[in-house]
Amino acid sequence: MPNSKSAYSFSNKKEKFDTHIIVVWVDNEAGVLARVVGLFSGRGYNIESLAVAQVDEKLKISRITIVTTGTPQVVNQIKLQLRKLVPVHKVADFKREDKAVIFKEMALFKIVGPNNKLEGALKACKKYNPILLDKTKKSNVIQITALRREIDKMSKDLKKFGLVSVSRTGAVAMTRGADIFK
């Protein structure tokens, strides 16, 4: 909004957007995901991907991993706003470039075609821990785990081998080494 003349506060500064992975530990109760996601949509924050599942059966704790983009100020707001939600226990924030953290996504690829193509597809996935989950004469279902951009790339590259369907998860994250996030 160049040279805005509004009494509402517009900023003319163009700030860099960073990609962050936000990990939120929450009570696994009804509506908790809606609270977290509603906070993002209500305040205009981005969600690039989302992964959620219960990680502690006894304490009923779920771990939500959200990939988001924003200026440093926005990312800071996201964390602070999340911490205000009653069912939220703790919030961790990692930059995508952070070497001390492992990020992984999983994808399932369905390839349909002649044998040589099926093999070609499996070979192309070699770098990303491919697992053949299903095999017929005409088709393969391959599972890989990789980074987002690697899966993006594979989704393109596998087209020539007869890729007909892609299903993928959001990113999950974990710190390297013996330390855990407190």
Partner 1 sequence: MSKLYSGAEIVFKCMEDQNVDHIFGYPGGAVLPIYDELQNFKSIKHVLVRHEQGAGHAAEGYARSSGKPGVILVTSGPGATNVVTALTDAYMDSIPLVCISGQVPTHLIGTDAFQECDTTGITRPCTKHNWLVKDINDLANTIHKAFEVATTGRPGPVLVDIPKDIQFQKTKYNRPKKEKKLNGRSHNHFNQNSIDELIELMSKSSKPIFYTGGGVINSGPRASELLRELVYATGFPITSTLQGLGSFPGDDNQFLGMLGMHGTYEANNAMHDCDLMINIGARFDDRITGKIDEFSPNSKKVHIDIDPSSINKNVKVDLAIVGDVKTVLSSTLKSLKQKKSKFLKSNKQKTSKWWEKIQKWRSVRSLDYIGSEETIKPQYAIERLYELTKDKDSYITTEVGQHQMWAAQHYKFNKPNRWMTSGGLGTMGYGLPAAVGVQVAHPKKLVIDIAGEASVLMTIQEMSTAVQYNLPIKIFILNNQYMGMVRQWQELLHDKNYSESYTAALPDFVKLAEAYNCVGIRAKTPEELDDKIIEMLNTDRPVIFDCMVDKVENCFPMIPSGKPHNQMILGPKDQESKKITGKGKSLV
Summarize as ranges the residues that interact with partner 1 (CB under 8 A). 3-13, 30-31, 34-35, 38, 42, 73, 76-77, 80-81, 83-86
Q: Would you say 2 or 177 has its CB closer to partner 1?
A: 2
Question: Which is closer to partner 1, CB of 4 or CB of 129?
Answer: 4
Residue with tokens 């609270």: 35
Indicate the residue among 73 and 129 with the shorter CB distance to partner 1: 73
Which C-beta is closer to partner 1: that of 31 or that of 177?
31
- Residue 39: closest CA among 102, 4, 83: 83
- The stretches of the chain forming alpha helices (DSSP H) are 32-42, 72-84, 115-124, 148-157
Q: Do residues 64 and 21 touch, judged by C-beta distance below 8 A?
A: no
State how far Cα 34 lies from the chain centre: 17
**CB of residue 38 vs partner 1: minimum separation in angstroms?**
6
Residue 156 tokens read as 């393109």
Please name which of 29, 35, 37, 34 lies closest in space to residue 54, comparing C-alpha atoms.
29
For the bound state, the minimum distance from the C-beta of residue 36 to partner 1, rounded and expressed in Å, comes to 11
- Taking the complex as a whole, how short is the minimal distance between the CB of residue 74 and partner 1, in angstroms? 10
> Could you tell me the two tokens for 79?
């964390």
Report, in Å, the least distance between residue 69 CB and partner 1.
18
Rounded to the nearest whole angstrom, what is the least distance from the CB of residue 116 to partner 1 in the complex?
52
CB nearer to partner 1: pick between 76 and 129: 76
